[in-house]
Structure 1
Amino acid sequence: MANLTGNRRQILTATAAFAGLGLFSSRSFAGNMTPQKITSLPLEDVRLLPSPYKTALDVNHTYLVTLEPDRFLHNFRKGAGLKPKAEAYGGWENDTIAGHSLGHYLSAISLMYAQTGDPVLKQRAAYVIEELALIQGAQGDGYVAGFLRKRKDGTIVDGKEIFPEIMAGDIRSAGFDLNGCWVPFYNWHKLYSGLFDAQSLCGLDKAIPVAVSLGGYIDKVFAALSDAQVQEVLNCEHGGINDSFAELYQRTNDPRWLKLSERLYHHKVLDSLVAQQDKLANIHSNTNIPKVLGLARLYDVTGKADYHTAAAFFWERVTKHHSFVIGGNGDREYFFEPDTISKHITEATCEHCATYNMMKLTRDLYRWSPDAAYFDYFERAHLNHVMAQQNPKTGMFSYMTPLFTGAARGFSSADDNWTCCHGTGMESHAKHAESIYWQTADTLFVNLYIPSTAKWAARGASLRLDTGYPYNGAIKLSLTTLRRPARFKLGLRVPGWAKSAALKVNGKSVEAARDNGYLIVDRVWKAGDSLALNLPMDLRIEPTADNPGVVALLRGPMVMAADLASVDDDYKATDPALVGNDLLAGFAPVAIEKAEFKTVGIGRPGELKIVPFYSQWERRSAVYFKAFNEAAWKVEEAAFLTEQARQRDLAARSVDVMHLGEMQAERDHNLESDVSWPGTYRGRNGRDARSGGFMSFTMKVKPGPLVMQATYWGDDRCDFDILIDGQLLTNVSHKTPMKPGEFFDEQYPVPEALTQGKTEVTIKLVPKEGRSTAMVFDILLFTAAPAGVTA
């Protein structure tokens, strides 16, 4: 995690301007603005006024105060031979990734302290740091961690056990697993971020000795390895550990940490970005974004052009070619082929952590080349994804934000569902004010129109921002106090979607300079002056790049959605479509102050209520719609409705699905394998097992007849057995191409005797001698269709 205020973001003058187009704007990044130092106002100098953003902040503040530091510290103390003071939290805190939440918590309470001034939060941050120093003393070598290790015999032990093995060259690195420990360096990256935030935002300098001592231990581990072995370790998700050591160098000026940071460069992923090649398809999104954040930090420190090139290219490709309409990315946490959004609108889109990190990268790029187009993306992601991720009624967080029609957002629990996105959620909703205001030596820029007050210390000014944004486009910026009349510039962002922008100073229309997406007023200001901007918020349709017949609806910065049903009600209806020769003419306002509309004559199979997507926390939505003109609808209607009904029926009867070849899915389903490898073909992840090997995994079952469906590539040949809890279900033998050039599904009835009385079974795929399973992509278990109905 990277906080972007105060000492933590030492802003450097940009040496190279990012060239390209804004994600949702046609204007160029080239402009007259000279690259210069630009910083966001410190978080402690901005306070939110009533709005949905302040509600999210307040709810999160209340939640953070209820959390107990000693529960996060449970494994840290236990591993050092000290008695834990409280039981550990649940979820991932009861797995081998245990301990990662402490770093998120330390960042969140530090951010919230800066945002609110609540002294309880600073006291807790100080307590955590004191405990970490005590634990390091008990360890005796700088080591401090909460993660665990699962041995081959299944025994769970302290994670420190893996490092002598690694130093000896015994490195067993997979996507999420390193010698039986779940992402230990990712875990440490979170801890480092928390320590740095505690120093920057709470003034707790004791955090740095803890960071330095831990760095000494980590440096010793890598010093024992060859460069090739370092790369092998880095094949396991390691977060932004390169970012951690670049920042430690910034804080200590010790070149040891810069050297280590640059050594932790993952060639397999980052070299292609330096070469400006998009090879993102089928790699895990949030595994790789933090590595790029590390390059951005290294560019700040070293000025090396390759680091800038890679970071800028990555951002451009992700935001413009791999992102959904709400600004999130990833299907089941993975990037997919560029410009194929319409093929990936599923129940598992948009992991929050990935957007949280992309927004941090956006801030870095903006610092180097301040252009309003960066905030077209930032605002979209912030409003439509981050604000959708927290349920303000409960304060809890979603992992994915599903864009599949009718899907429900699943939210975490306060104690027992600790995941990565629960951690980043605590942080995201502690810093809604961090990116509103930005300053240079002579200009204050407003990038986000979130109601707030601010102190501009450099000018001795206090400001107030009043707006009903994003529900209406009336924006007023007032200078409530000013030390003395002075000449400076105020710049208001004109979003790329805005067709016009009317500006007034003290109630009178003015002509303002236009520069890189801003209207800038340069004059002598005095206390009481105000600047007003009005942005018309028109509805517009945004088609997907790969299929103009799949569209989303937006109003100003806000993604709109069809309100379908309560999450308490099953959704079994046909997916809605839009039909008309002029679709925009078919939306009528219902309650414009709440951005509510209805379709008139264009909704299929019926008219639709249209509302802001982000606020559908406890409602089912449709975000993407199939769109047809009248002639095309007549041709497509029958096939469209039939296929939608088939897919909906299958989804309704689904019991469990296993996406083979995907790290998170394989971990969730307890994959075990031998002589077996994950792979990718035609944009889909899968796994095969060769002669002498196997792959097995657990899946949920329910009473009654079930069907197993497996997905294959039509040209592959295979010969293997499928077993359920050790009993043969069927033999799969494809000795000739089954469906050349396409994926296909096969279904196998599951006898009730194999699942009776069980809630979970183990599926095992075992190739015949000299044969393989070939690539198997997905395994789906669903209830058998009633007699006479085809799945």
Structure 2
Amino acid sequence: MPSFALTSRRRLLCGAAGLTALTALPAMAQTASKLLPQKAKSLPLSDVRLLASDFKTAVDVNEKYLLTVNADSLLHNYRKGAGLTPKAEIYGGWERDTIAGHSLGHYLSAISLMYASTGNPEFKTRAVYIIDELALIQGMQGDGYVAGFTRKRKDGTVVDGKEIFPEIMAGDIRSAGFDLNGCWVPLYNWHKLYGGLFDAQTFCGINKGLYVGEKLGVYIDKVFAALNDEQVQKVLDCEFGGLNDSFAELHRRTNNPRWLALANRMHHKRIIDPLMAGEDKLGGNHANTQVPKLLAEATLYEITGKPEHHKATSFFWERVTKHHSYVIGGNADREYFFAPDTISKHITEATCEHCNTYNMLKLTRSLYSWNTDSSYFDYFERAHFNHVLSQQNPKTGMFSYMTPLFTGAERGFSSPFDNWTCCHGTGMESHAKHGESIFWEGGDALFVNLYIPSTAKWAAKNAQITLDTRYPYDGASKLTVSSIRRPTRFKLALRVPGWAKSAEVTVNGKPAKATRDGGYLVIDRVWTAGDSATLTLPLDLRFEATTDDAKVGAILYGPLVLAGDLGPVETEFKGTEPALVANDLIATIKPVAIEKAHFRTEGSGRPAELNLVPFYSQYERRSAVYFKNFDEAQWKVEEAAFLAEQARLKDLAARSVDVMHLGEMQPERDHNLESDVSWPGSYRGRYGRDARQGGFMQFTMKVRPDVPLILQASYWGDDRRQYDILIDGEKLTTVTHATAPKPGEFFDEQYPVPERFTKGKSQVLIRLQPSGGRSTGMVFGMLLFTAK
């Protein structure tokens, strides 16, 4: 049977409802006027409490984990750099690399958010302790400097990261994108620290951290003041997170113009200027390096009102969510944006870094606060349910880095203390604040944007609100005014998701007059204690195709992305990637346990029927998310093409002399692999290896001296490369792919081997040597076979 991965919008039973489409809602009165305020703000996190749900479980599990973390371990390098004795051993993972220290900022944010979410005083106590330690460390430094990152010198010696800044101020700026003079993203590191200091003030009321931030700002401003504009841009070419956002926010909190000037100085022209001009040049750029820069643009817009900041922010959000995002709301492949509208070509095991979505949801909140367009929350809900909730294993409390969408891939989770990464950090934060975006207020309106069981205090109306729902496993959500000081008139705006074909609303169990305003049902009345409104949405199945291939897509049930269950992670998936074959696909998907959103195909699954379950719940299971979808006639054509390809591969195998499976331990040993500046890896289920500038890889392969041979290399079509192939020291050819040769697909390239290279030999040494300042790119194996 064919090997497949994805599926089509054309046979969508429910119609092509995209993220922002809102179909006719007969239950609503129609109006062209804008009843609702344009601007809104979320209710304070400390005024919202979650009730039983998977989101509440995520917060509870995270709360337990955060209490096991030792802040002194995260402060290890901070104290050491200031000449103080560390109080605890440093943690593992990135904390033992030159990026060390970034996790402290994440942790400070996480415990501050958790204090707001739970009221547990231990979290505020910890936040106070960390900031006191930072103030002490900063005092020992004497010049405002405080950091935990380190620097690796050219001789391999690891020293305190402060050493790089005199070099930078002198104009000696060296970076390859993530390292700055031997230190891994130090400015990004500071951005995370500032985030923690701000969150401690916002959610715990700790002002002392702001003084630490101002003193550190003086040091950073001194560094940038020594640079001309060209040198600033060179520094900004190294990932700096949203450090410009940090200084814009510092200005907002202190009203000191010095910090606004510094934020504006950190304007990264190469990325931001095209966005301001409405140009999508995101492809090929590291994704999460860019998103925080747009958070800065959002903050600068809120401070200055300048339209160019709004333009960059809104244009970026629109391009990413509608042209660069997967069905679960995440984005990027191998951490990088690719060409817009090419999702079907990038279904891999390296999709959807969690940090990207963490930051995109922050950006979404900003945009919505300026314009209460419900479509922002169509995206937010999609990503919140299907990506963020899938990122934490509720059994262990641990976090995934990527959320792979490749068929059969294992999700993979961190360990508590030994492999800290950026996504471990944002995971601690994300699962401390699931209540932050449910309720919003603006003017005399209360917006309900997420249907998560919860209670809230609405201080503006002296009211207590209860939201009771099993959504998205049940379409009904009931909001009750649990208490209110006196009967009060206000508007209740209930978001109707863009995928919903209809909606019904009742008040106190009876049909109610509701007015449609954009994507909301609005009930404008006098509310008293005990009044309730119930919104009922139809939870329909639908097929959502990728924008670039109508035969490739995913199955959704309401807001939930469904996945084919391919078994436990302990069992490696070696089967054929499933496809769906039906003239009417949705009619073949039958409920098994509707209360759990469990379904099964009947007659459409190939090579076997599929159990379909919510994707986010597949923590310790393997999944198929994207499917190819065919009608019966298309399937016959596909089968014929598959059989022809199998015949070609069979012929090639018959003529094979030797094959080198690069990136696999045993084949590399069998072929005597030697390498330098070279790393193995895997992509889309295939193993490979690359060699970078200054390195090489070489290995032996068997040959037949009496026949013409062909050497075949396998590549991924988006990779650029330039390298020489040498056989026993003599150059066979130079491989050059200056541009992406075949975007979105694997391909083979063949190089005839003249008989002089093999005459009288039983084996040869093949060496792949980067040239022209490039690398070999990933090489997914080499095959020597006889010419026909």
TM-score range, shorter chain: 0.7 to 0.9
* Structure 1 residue 443, shift from structure 2 partner: 0.7
The answer for the alignment partner of 1:546 in structure 2 is 548
SS at match of 2:779: strand
Aligned pair 1:745/2:754, yes or no?
no
Match of 2:529 among 527, 530, 536: 527
Distance in 2 between the 1:327 and 1:340 partners?
15
Contact 1:461–1:483 at 8 Å: present in 2 too? yes
Deviations 1:447-495 (A, max 9, x none): 0000000000111100110000111111100011110111111111000
Distance in 2 between the 1:368 and 1:298 partners?
13
* Structure 1 residue 332, shift from structure 2 partner: 0.4
The answer for the alignment partner of 1:481 in structure 2 is 483
Distance in 2 between the 1:542 and 1:737 partners?
34
* Structure 1 residue 646, shift from structure 2 partner: 11
Deviations 1:627-684 (A, max 9, x none): 100001011124347869999xx9xx977399xxxxxxxxxx99589xxxxxxxxxxx
Distance in 1 between the 2:737 and 2:160 partners?
49
Distance in 1 between the 2:600 and 2:780 partners?
37
Letter in 2 for 1:282: G
SS at match of 1:581: coil
Contact 2:408–2:566 at 8 Å: present in 1 too? yes
The answer for the alignment partner of 1:403 in structure 2 is 405
Q: 1:157 to 1:721 in 2, by over 3 A?
A: farther
Q: 1:579 to 1:37 in 2, by over 3 A?
A: closer
Contact 1:172–1:178 at 8 Å: present in 2 too? yes
The answer for the alignment partner of 2:323 in structure 1 is 321
Aligned pair 1:733/2:695, yes or no?
no
Q: 1:657 to 1:732 in 2, by over 3 A?
A: farther
What's the TM-score once normalised by structure 1's chain length?
Answer: 0.85
Distance in 1 between the 2:720 and 2:676 partners?
26
Letter in 1 for 2:502: S
Contact 1:242–1:261 at 8 Å: present in 2 too? yes
Letter in 1 for 2:724: F
Letter in 2 for 1:358: M
Deviations 1:378-415 (A, max 9, x none): 00000000000000000000000000000010100001
Higher relative contact order (CA 8 A, sep 6+): 2
Letter in 2 for 1:778: M
* Structure 1 residue 696, shift from structure 2 partner: 2.4
The answer for the alignment partner of 2:386 in structure 1 is 384
Match of 1:25 among 18, 21, 27: 21
Match of 2:47 among 45, 48, 68: 45
Q: 1:708 to 1:570 in 2, by over 3 A?
A: farther
Distance in 2 between the 1:572 and 1:73 partners?
45
Match of 2:463 among 430, 453, 461: 461
Letter in 2 for 1:354: N
* Structure 1 residue 22, shift from structure 2 partner: 7.9
SS at match of 2:84: coil
Select the structure of larger CA radius of gyration. Answer: 2
Distance in 2 between the 1:218 and 1:508 partners?
61
Deviations 1:702-743 (A, max 9, x none): xxxxx99553889999662569xxxx7984514899999758
* Structure 1 residue 773, shift from structure 2 partner: 7.8
Contact 2:37–2:445 at 8 Å: present in 1 too? no
Distance in 1 between the 2:560 and 2:648 partners?
32
Letter in 2 for 1:96: T
Aligned pair 1:595/2:588, yes or no?
no
Contact 2:582–2:632 at 8 Å: present in 1 too? yes
Distance in 2 between the 1:133 and 1:117 partners?
25
Contact 1:234–1:264 at 8 Å: present in 2 too? yes
**Counterparts of residues 342-741 of structure 1 (less than 5 Å):** 342-640=344-642, 656=663, 671=677, 694-696=693-695, 709=713, 711=715, 720-721=724-725, 731-734=731-734
Distance in 1 between the 2:144 and 2:739 partners?
58
Is there any run of 5+ residues in structure 2 with no aligned partner, and where? 1-16, 25-30, 654-659, 666-674, 680-688, 701-710, 752-765
Contact 2:690–2:778 at 8 Å: present in 1 too? no
Contact 1:31–1:516 at 8 Å: present in 2 too? no
The answer for the alignment partner of 2:769 in structure 1 is 766
Contact 1:657–1:778 at 8 Å: present in 2 too? no
Deviations 1:564-587 (A, max 9, x none): 111000101000000011001000
What's the TM-score once normalised by structure 2's chain length?
Answer: 0.85
Percent identity over paired residues = 64
The answer for the alignment partner of 1:202 in structure 2 is 204
Aligned length: 712
Deviations 1:323-350 (A, max 9, x none): 0000000000111111000000001000
Letter in 1 for 2:695: S
Is there any run of 5+ residues in structure 1 with no aligned partner, and where? 1-20, 659-668, 674-685, 702-706, 749-762
Q: 1:740 to 1:610 in 2, by over 3 A?
A: closer
Distance in 2 between the 1:195 and 1:31 partners?
43
Deviations 1:62-87 (A, max 9, x none): 00000000000000000000000001
SS at match of 1:402: coil
* Structure 1 residue 153, shift from structure 2 partner: 0.8
Match of 1:284 among 286, 295, 309: 286
Deviations 1:269-327 (A, max 9, x none): 00000000000101000000000110000000000100000000000000000000000
Q: 1:336 to 1:642 in 2, by over 3 A?
A: farther
SS at match of 1:720: strand
Contact 2:275–2:316 at 8 Å: present in 1 too? yes
Deviations 1:141-165 (A, max 9, x none): 0000000101111111000000000
Q: 1:775 to 1:205 in 2, by over 3 A?
A: closer
Letter in 2 for 1:99: G
Contact 2:439–2:447 at 8 Å: present in 1 too? yes
SS at match of 2:778: strand
* Structure 1 residue 772, shift from structure 2 partner: 4.0
Letter in 1 for 2:663: D
Q: 1:466 to 1:645 in 2, by over 3 A?
A: farther
Match of 1:61 among 60, 63, 72: 63
The answer for the alignment partner of 1:307 in structure 2 is 309
Letter in 2 for 1:695: G
The answer for the alignment partner of 2:300 in structure 1 is 298
SS at match of 2:617: coil
Distance in 2 between the 1:736 and 1:347 partners?
27
Deviations 1:28-67 (A, max 9, x none): 9997256544110000100000000000010000000000
Match of 2:341 among 339, 342, 352: 339
SS at match of 2:616: coil
* Structure 1 residue 440, shift from structure 2 partner: 1.2
**Counterparts of residues 173-252 of structure 1 (less than 5 Å):** 173-252=175-254
Contact 2:721–2:776 at 8 Å: present in 1 too? no
Letter in 2 for 1:696: G
Contact 2:272–2:312 at 8 Å: present in 1 too? yes
The answer for the alignment partner of 1:780 in structure 2 is 780
* Structure 1 residue 370, shift from structure 2 partner: 0.6
Deviations 1:422-466 (A, max 9, x none): 000000000000000000120111000000000001111001100
Deviations 1:100-129 (A, max 9, x none): 000000000000000001111100000000
Distance in 1 between the 2:273 and 2:736 partners?
40
